Amino acid sequence: MGQALKKEGVHEIVSVADLNLWYGSHQALRSISLSAMTGEVLALIGPSGCGKSSFLRTLNRMNDLIPIVRVEGRVIVMGQDIYHDGVELAELRRRVGLVFQRSNPFPKSIYDNIAYGPRIHGERRRSELDGIVEQSLRRADLWEEVKDRLSASALGLSGGQQQRLCIARALAVRPTILLMDEPASALDPRSTAKIEELIGMLRGEYTIVIVTHNMQQAARVSDRTAFFCDGSLIETGVTSELFTNPRNAQTQDYITGRFG
Amino acid sequence: MMRERIQLFLLASCAWISIAITLAIAVALLQETVSFFREVSAAQFLLDTEWTPLFWEKHYGIWPLVCGTVITTVISLVVAIPVGTTIALFLAEWSPRSLRQIIKPILEILSGIPTIVFGYFSVTIATPLLRIIFPSLPGFNALSAGVVMGIMMVPLMATLVEDALSVVPQSFREASYALGASRLTTMLRVTLPAAAGGVVAACILALSRALGETMIVTIAAGQQPRFSLNPLQAVETLTAFIAQVVMGDTPYGSIEHRAVFVVGCLLFLGTFTLNVGSMWIRERFSSTR
Ligand SMILES: Nc1ncnc2c1ncn2[C@@H]1O[C@H](COP(=O)(O)OP(=O)(O)OP(=O)(O)O)[C@@H](O)[C@H]1O
Ligand SMILES: [Mg+2]
């Protein structure tokens, strides 16, 4: 699994240095420095409330929507300091997709859900949109299940299908990086397996940063894992090594289930 | 147990009383309507283009009153729906809390103004202002009454639409932003469509309110039934006719007096249908969500 990292020419597509984040006066992230390599799957694990989601949401500036948030530090995504003035938010979020913990399809048809992203970015040609919709649904492994009812409401899909629809919707704007915040935590085991399989299929093509509560999941899907605790980054390493041979005592306690 | 039963009984009887009163009104209206049609043929009612029950030569064609109602109602909706919806969108999706705290009370004050004041406002201020654009506007006219009625309904519209927007889950907006949408795009393409049921219901309620509005049109629209849809003239609405007769010295039981009940019946049917329609739409949209 770690092999991708050792290849020549792999570089840091996301590079965070000395990141601090506050909600009002509450500091949720402390001096985080962490990178993601092009094409890898990076898992973020840690106890509840340790700041995984906050970290994830800084990478496409979704935290901007919360008025009390203050961010300090350097976040370089694809060579650009994204907290620099003059960053095109729309373009950043197009290239850094986000899949939420609870699937949140729009109350529109399956087709319109997928076509929403391309449309707001200016794509109007029907044939082009048809192509994007099919391709995105195929990538999210949903095409066969929904191809005959593209104009039906997305809300009629099962929970697992809805989450795959949301992944397809994120893929439809052709992102380079995909952020996933516990994408399977609200799903049954079969749908979860399906999502994990999907991540396996997307690996390499996209850089994926995934938050998960489930350590087996992290072990199964990721190349590298970062362990957060109390707003700090405790340890990061190649997944297989971090799980079999953690360097830090706190990490050891967490992965062996002694706390968290 | 006993207390609960008494409470239930009291609540149920209140509900039944209001149903009984509604039914009684409907029966009274129907009775008078039936006796009206013993004297005036339905053909005249539907085909005549003049409405002159208070004149020597009486005509009972309903269309002039319907025209008056349609013009003033349409004008008021043209004002209230876009303005109210825009204010609601601004309040729910855009404005910082500080500005919201200024706009909300203004709307509340606006909705507390008695309609007679609006009527007066229409004659003394709105009409002279509208004359800047339409110099030939008569003192009493449908345009001014309709516009002022629209202004009166803005708070109603804004509040209802804001309510509809506030129940749209935040996760829809977040999904849109995460795809790179701007605030305006999210508002117009996600939030507003998701609230469509509530918005349509609000429009229907506003329509029903406009149909029933009496004071402003009685004062400002001119009380001249006309078979025409020109807004730059004096007109008379269904409601204004009722007010005119009831406040005049028409003897009880006369045919002119019965005409009031016929018109009332028509209004009752109209607003009743609209309110039920509004409820139905709201229900339908909320169940598909
Ligand atoms: N919108 C917010 N306003 C104020 N505080 C917040 C907000 N969101 C998160 N926090 C706080 O920031 C800290 C980190 O939260 P975050 O959601 O990033 O944790 P997490 O690791 O994702 O937890 P979980 O595993 O439960 O999702 C928590 O203490 C939380 O209470
Ligand atoms: Mg979280």
Q: Is residue B99 part of a domain?
A: yes
> In this predicted model, what pLDDT tens digit does every residue of A247-259 receive, in sequence order?
988 999 898 876 5
pLDDT score, position A86: 84
Which SS3 state, helix, strand or coil, does residue B41 take?
coil
- CA distances in angstroms from B186 to A62, A143, B199, listed in the order given: 14, 26, 17
Mean pLDDT of B9-34: 91
Q: Do B174 and A100 touch (CB under 8 A)?
A: yes
**Range with the poorest average pLDDT among B9-13, B93-97, B214-218:** B93-97
Phi-psi region of B211 (alpha: psi -120 to 50; beta: other; left: phi over 0): alpha
Output DSSP code: residue B122: I
CATH at residue B205: 1.10.3720.10
Residue A255: CB atoms within 10 A of its CB come to 20
What domain range is B209 assigned to? Answer: 63-288
Q: Is residue B46 part of a domain?
A: no
pLDDT score, position A258: 66
> In this predicted model, what pLDDT tens digit does every residue of A55-98 receive, in sequence order?
999 999 999 889 899 999 999 999 999 998 888 999 999 999 99
The number of domains in chain B is 1
Q: At A246, phi and psi to the nearest 5?
A: -65, 145
Q: Which residue of A has its CA nearest to B169?
A: A104
Q: Is residue B223 part of a domain?
A: yes
Compute, in angstroms, the gap from residue A154 CA to the centroid of ligand 2.
25
Q: Is residue B145 part of a domain?
A: yes
pLDDT score, position A3: 43
Extract the tokens encoding B267.
């209004």
Residue B287 reports pLDDT greater than 60: no
pTM, two decimals, is 0.84
The interface pTM score, or ipTM, of the predicted complex is 0.91
Residue B116 reports pLDDT greater than 60: yes
Mean pLDDT of B63-83: 96
Q: Which of A88, A102, A103, A90 is nearest to A169 (CA)?
A: A103
List ligand 1's pocket residues with C-beta within 6 A: A 23, 26, 28, 46, 48-54, 66
Residue A4 reports pLDDT greater than 50: no
> In this predicted model, what pLDDT tens digit does every residue of B123-175 receive, in sequence order?
999 999 999 999 999 999 999 999 999 999 999 999 999 999 999 999 999 99
Residue A228: CB atoms within 10 A of its CB come to 25
Residue A191 reports pLDDT greater than 90: no
Residue B246 reports pLDDT greater than 90: no
Residue B25: CB atoms within 10 A of its CB come to 13
Among B165, B179, B184, B287, the residue to mutate for chain A (most A Cβ within 10 A)? B179
Residue A154 reports pLDDT greater than 80: yes
The answer for residues whose C-beta is within 8 angstroms of residue B145's C-beta and 6 or more apart is B72, B75, B119, B122, B216, B217, B219, B220, B221
Extract the tokens encoding A170.
């994120």
The confidence band for B256, taking pLDDT boundaries of 50, 70 and 90, is confident
Compute, in angstroms, the gap from residue B97 CA to the centroid of ligand 1.
23
User: Which architecture does CATH list for A3-255?
Assistant: 3-Layer(aba) Sandwich (3.40)
Q: Is residue B9 part of a domain?
A: no
Q: Which of A39, A199, A90 is nearest to B181 (CA)?
A: A90
The three-point CA angle B87-B73-B150 to 5° equals 30
Which SS3 state, helix, strand or coil, does residue B32 take?
helix
The sheet carrying A26-37 orders its strands as A26-37, A12-23, A69-77, A80-81
Extract the tokens encoding A260.
């968290």
Each domain of chain A, given as residue ranges in start order, spans: 3-255
Distance in angstroms between the alpha carbons of the first and the last residue of chain A: 26
Mean pLDDT of A144-152: 94
